[in-house]
Amino acid sequence: MKRLTKYAGVALIVLGVLAPFIPILIWSFARRWYFPAVLPTEWSIRGWAYAFSSASRLPQALWQSLLISGVTSLLSILIGLPAGRALGLHKFRGKTLVEFLMLAPTIVPAFAVAMGIHVVFIRLGLADTMIGVILVHLVPTLPYVTLVLAGMFANYDVNYEAQARSLGATPLQTIWYVLLPSIYPGLIVAGMFAFIISWSQYILTLLIGGGRVLTLPLLLFSFASSGDNNVTAALSIIFIAPAIVLLIISARYLTGRNVSLARGN
Amino acid sequence: MLFGGGLLLALAQSFGYLPIIGKTDFSLVAWQSIFQQTEFWQSLGLTLWIGFASTVLSTVLAIVCALLLRRQFRGKKAVTFLFQLNIPIPHIVGAIGILLLFSQSGLLARLANLAGMINDPAQFPALVNDRYAIGIIAEYIWKETCFIGTIVLATLQSVGEDYENAAASLGATRWQRFRYVTLPLIMPSVLTASILVFAFAFGAFEIPFLLGRRFPSALSVLAWRSYTDTNLALRPEAMAMSLFIALVSTGMILLYMTLSRKLVRQ
């Protein structure tokens, strides 16, 4: 009996997690699916075919999304690495304040910030451009990357670097052979989640991109509000694919602390 | 820099400083105006309801799930992986899934029809774009239960079962062990995780935009509507509303930092 309730509970969890994906998966292959049919009366790949045709603008959105998220996560790491190092290794006055300022953008909704920046971006000619969108995506990704890397550096011993240098390693060699190997799990997790945070942004892209910069979430929103369930469902599946791939790769590096800040929102 | 600057600029604009339309004087008109609107207070009420309902329900569910997933069973690794799967899934996709599941012609309504409970889509209760924001809350619960649950599970694993076994050998019942041993041990991580969830549910935009009603709408959606209104004079109000949301979230961070600091000290 006890065993039975345990397995029933586990089954409920699995069902609960998968529930929203079930109609998405079915709709992406449905042709005729009117109420009250529980399964489609006719199947087709129209949704997929249309999604991949140039009429849906998916190729353009996919390319721009990949470019924006790729550059955003790369920039977050390049800036976040020295910042995280300083935060993780050194004690300095006002460190609590800096930590507070780093946490703030992970919780304060980014659109409040973006509305304020918008005017300046218009004047600088950054509004409606991809560069502007990448810059505004850094607002939520950068603090996250910095905090994860600061956590990695808290357990990092700088003396290894000094040892390498005294044995004749150049600064670049020290970074390549000493620094990077010891923090790469953090780098992978931080980079991947920066990618996903940027990948999922809707309102920031819409606001700063002004509709000129088309990313996958914008395309998904427009199909979702037009009510074309087949294409919406197919696009949803394409949209979550990188999240699943990244989770599989990063699962072994994930810890509770990392997870607490990494939310695809 | 971008973040602080953006907030300061929003603050300036909420005081009516908009050089683009030739307004360079500062005033509190926008702030006074939003606090006088019934729509603002209704939106605030709805947003608080969404925040509290989703946080409380997903926290309770997360604890139950974590306690269950901690035990040994076949396929534990796969189920735990599936449980974490939700965390990086974008909220928009969750919202679309909830829409296709909960709407009056959605999968649940069809199953209810199959079971003979309803004959017509209109008989199915409105769970999406509804008065009580059930669709929105359902989406948050779906996603955040996995988030809080993963953190609780990690805490449970690092604490181990020694304390509970000791309590059991002293004759504590199952409920007593949970109430006086397990719960106090996981409470710090539960609290910090649920504060993050509340702050997110309070300020997020996409989900109430897709699954909510037009009136009253969540605070973030109301702010967005004022911002994109053709009437530029409404912009200071939009800024004031976003800053109000930012202010509440800031309070949440302070709470989060105080709590997690206590957690480190223990």
State pLDDT tens for residues A88-144. Answer: 888 777 777 887 777 777 778 888 888 888 888 888 889 899 999 999 999 889 888
Q: Is residue A22 over pLDDT 50? A: yes
For residue B243, list chain A residues with Cβ-Cβ distance below 8 A.
112
pLDDT tens per residue across span A138-175? 988 988 888 888 888 877 888 888 888 889 888 888 88
CB of A149 within 8 A of CB of A85? yes
- Of the given ranges (A22-31, A248-257, B242-251), which has the lowest mean pLDDT? A248-257
Where in chain B are the domains?
46-265
CB of B86 within 8 A of CB of B122? no
Q: Is residue B118 over pLDDT 70? A: yes
Under the banding of pLDDT at 50, 70 and 90, the label for residue B4 is low
- Compute the average pLDDT of residues B108-135: 86
Mutate to test the interface with B, among A111, A126, A218, A239 (most CBs of B within 10 A): A111
Selecting from B9, B90, B224 the residue whose C-beta is nearest the C-beta of A264 gives: B90
- The three-class DSSP label of residue A196 is helix
- Of the given ranges (A1-15, A105-119, B156-170, B172-186), which has the lowest mean pLDDT? A105-119
Max mean pLDDT among A11-20, A139-148, A239-248, B226-235 falls in A11-20
- Quote the pLDDT of residue A206: 92
Q: Which residue has the higher pLDDT, B241 or B10?
A: B241
> CATH homologous superfamily of domain A55-261?
MetI-like (1.10.3720.10)
Residue of A nearest to B143 (CA): A17
Selecting from A193, A203, A260 the residue whose C-beta is nearest the C-beta of B206 gives: A203
Mean pLDDT of chain B: 85
Question: What percentage of chain A carries pLDDT values higher than 70?
Answer: 94
- Quote the pLDDT of residue B75: 84
Quote the minimal CA–CA distance from A186 to chain B in Å.
Answer: 17
Whether A239 and B192 lie within 8 Å, measured CB to CB: no
What's the rounded Cα separation, in Å, for the pair B258 and B246? 18
What's the rounded Cα separation, in Å, for the pair A1 and A3? 5
- Compute the average pLDDT of residues B89-103: 91
Whether B205 and A203 lie within 8 Å, measured CB to CB: yes
Select B46-265's CATH number: 2.120.10.30, 1.10.357.10, 1.20.140.10, 1.10.3720.10: 1.10.3720.10
- Quote the pLDDT of residue A171: 86
Q: Read off the pTM.
A: 0.86
Quote the minimal CA–CA distance from A66 to chain B in Å.
Answer: 15
CB of B14 within 8 A of CB of B30? yes
Question: What percentage of chain B carries pLDDT values higher than 90?
Answer: 22
- Compute the average pLDDT of residues A46-67: 89
Mutate to test the interface with B, among A41, A106, A205, A265 (most CBs of B within 10 A): A265
Residue of A nearest to B157 (CA): A256
- Quote the pLDDT of residue A1: 60
What's the rounded Cα separation, in Å, for the pair B152 and B159? 10
What's the rounded Cα separation, in Å, for the pair B99 and B106? 7
- Quote the pLDDT of residue A262: 47
| Cα–Cα separations (whole angstroms), residue B212 to A126, A184, B53, B98 | 32, 42, 15, 12
Could you say which DSSP state residue A54 is in?
G
Under the banding of pLDDT at 50, 70 and 90, the label for residue B142 is very high
Q: Is residue B15 over pLDDT 60? A: yes
* ipTM above threshold 0.85: no
Residue of B nearest to A6 (CA): B68
Q: Is residue A265 over pLDDT 50? A: no
> Hey, is the C-beta of A13 within 8 angstroms of any chain B C-beta?
yes
Where in chain A are the domains?
1-44, 55-261
What's the rounded Cα separation, in Å, for the pair B122 and B149? 36
What's the rounded Cα separation, in Å, for the pair A216 and A69? 11
- Compute the average pLDDT of residues A211-238: 90
- Quote the pLDDT of residue B246: 87
Under the banding of pLDDT at 50, 70 and 90, the label for residue B16 is low
- Of the given ranges (A13-17, A243-247, A258-262, B260-264), which has the lowest mean pLDDT? A258-262
Question: What percentage of chain A carries pLDDT values higher than 90?
Answer: 29
